[in-house]
Amino acid sequence: MLLRVNGTRECAESQILRLDYRNLVSAVGVRLGIPLCHPHTCRCGESMDKSGVHGVSCRRAAGTFSRHAALTDIIHRVLSSVNVPSILEPIGMFLTDGKRPDGLTLIPWSPGECLAWDTTCRNTLASSCLSSISNQPGAAAESRKRVHYAAMPGYYSLRPFAVKTMGSFGEDALQLAKELGGRLQAQSGETRATSFVLQRISTAIQRGNAASVLASIPK
């Protein structure tokens, strides 16, 4: 369960949302542009300046896969908490191209449609993302996801879950998070359920950023 009951709820959420010292320093440093390390050569061979920003966008960034898995798992767990069974990386959805999203509900999420979601977290500071930031956060990533799954049958409702490393949500991602929070509130009675869901997602992003920065340091 995402939320526990009565007296243990506060303790459970505080533990889930807590960042250790190294993760907190790295996450805040990336966000505020505070020097995080001595300039050095990253494991990938590129130069790393004192800001540590290269670590977030490095092609060998250690936090990329863990962050993606954590975001997908959060959605999966919340669905389980509201009694909506789902599976990760479903097989057999497409007869032509074999593509599959990150997750799929086994019962309808909306009338007549099972929810299929696909997660992506783009680096806000990457040069390829700068042109789209001033427009709408996550819009380009969500559009690419829709094109990628254009062959998806109509009885599936595709919801691209696009977020940025600096914490901004795409329109579809924010809407899905609010829907999950609303159903969780109805299930548990916790009025802050939506806030908890958004905080867990944000914490997973920052943990991924920190892992990427720290992993850039040579052994």
Cβ atoms of residues 87 and 104 within 8 Å: yes
Domain boundaries, the chain: 53-124+136-215
| CA-based nearest residue to 100, from 109, 83, 87, 84 | 87
pLDDT confidence of residue 161? 95
| CA-based nearest residue to 202, from 77, 8, 12, 16 | 16
pLDDT confidence of residue 130? 53
Q: For 146-203, what is each residue's pLDDT tens digit?
A: 888 888 888 899 999 999 888 889 999 999 999 999 999 999 999 999 999 999 999 9
| CA-based nearest residue to 123, from 112, 138, 105, 110 | 138
Q: Provide the residue count of the chain.
A: 219
| CA-based nearest residue to 174, from 149, 142, 210, 135 | 142
Q: For 17-50, what is each residue's pLDDT tens digit?
A: 677 888 888 878 887 888 888 888 888 888 888 8
Judge if pTM exceeds 0.75.
yes
Beta carbons within 10 angstroms of residue 186's beta carbon: 11
Q: What CATH architecture is 53-124+136-215?
A: 3-Layer(aba) Sandwich (3.40)
C-alpha span between 42 and 35 (Å, rounded):
16
Check whether 133 has a pLDDT greater than 60.
no
Least confident of 93-97, 148-152, 212-216: 93-97
Q: For 100-132, what is each residue's pLDDT tens digit?
A: 899 999 999 999 899 999 999 888 766 555 555
Q: Write 42-49 long-range contacts (CB < 8 A, 24+).
A: 42/216, 42/218, 43/215, 43/216, 43/217, 43/218, 44/216, 48/216
pLDDT confidence of residue 16? 62
**188's torsion region: left (phi>0), alpha (psi -120 to 50) or beta?**
alpha
